[in-house]
Amino acid sequence: GIPAYIVVPRTAPHCKQAAILTYGATLVPCEPNDKSRAETASRVVQETGGVMVHPNQEPVVIAGQGTIALEVLEQAPEVNAIVAPVGGGGMIAGIAVAIKALRPDVKVFAAEPRNADDCYQSKVRGELTPNLHPPDTIADAVKTSIGPNTWPIIRDLVDDVLTVSEEEIKRATRLVWERMKLLIEPTAGVGVAAVLSEQFQAVPRDVENVCIVLCGGNVDLSSLTWLTDLPG
């Protein structure tokens, strides 16, 4: 097999770090910010002679994630809108490219934590506006900012960006656990929270069939203390 070196923030959930090691990859820790990640990845490439595969700015990764949209259209052709969480933007960009090429009438919505709203700010300002500081959000997989390859796609093809609070994310995650019996991580709960939010009520009435991408199930069971702090 080909050796793989995965650069991971030190603050990443233990379950994600453990899974990487279990799959046989080498885990390389970095500080929880974009600068440290880029510097660490560059060092690993130089030391190993490896090839850098960016998790959300690599064109082929973006294209690969676009196959999510192909599956949605195949399995639910009556869909009117797709909602997906956004961090670096690879998944939402790939989905948007595929959807708008095949079914331009289908709306594409990005969802992100209000505490990590660089995508929303970028859409509002019309220019790439990364987070200035590491965001404080329970949705750890979308703490990173969108980048130079995903921003133009999001700018041109994503219909809107919906932001949600930390409490909305927690409530949506718990709702899916309790009612749908699916073990999703809070990042996946961001999309559910967006559809349940007041913002989504402004979506045109003809948007009836909505697909939410539940994009992760890495739940660190030892870190669920937030459940006891959630009212109701």
Q: Which residues span the domain enclosing 38?
A: 5-48
Q: Do 194 and 122 belong together in one domain?
A: yes
CA 93, CA 84: separation in Å to the nearest integer?
10
What's the structural domain count of the chain? 2
Q: What is the mean pLDDT of residues 132-158?
A: 95
pLDDT reading at 226 higher than 90: no
Q: Do 106 and 188 belong together in one domain?
A: yes
Q: What is the mean pLDDT of residues 124-132?
A: 96
In a domain, residue 227? The reply is no
Q: Do 78 and 166 belong together in one domain?
A: yes
Backbone angles phi, psi at 160, to 5 degrees: -165, 160
pLDDT reading at 127 higher than 70: yes
User: What pLDDT does 232 receive?
Assistant: 64
In a domain, residue 208? The reply is yes
Backbone angles phi, psi at 216, to 5 degrees: -175, 145
Identity of the highest mean pLDDT range in 9-18, 74-83, 133-142, 222-231: 74-83
Instruction: Tell me what the pLDDT averaged over the chain comes to.
Output: 95
Q: Do 30 and 91 belong together in one domain?
A: no
CATH code where residue 25 lies: 3.40.50.1100
In a domain, residue 230? The reply is no
CA 80, CA 73: separation in Å to the nearest integer?
10
For the segment 182-206, what is each residue's pLDDT rounded down to a tens digit? Answer: 999 999 999 999 999 999 998 988 8
Pair of tokens at residue 100 = 């708008």
pLDDT reading at 229 higher than 70: yes
In a domain, residue 197? The reply is yes
Q: Do 109 and 70 belong together in one domain?
A: yes
CA distances 65 to 62, 84, 136, 147, 183, Å, are 5, 12, 26, 16, 21
Q: Do 37 and 79 belong together in one domain?
A: no
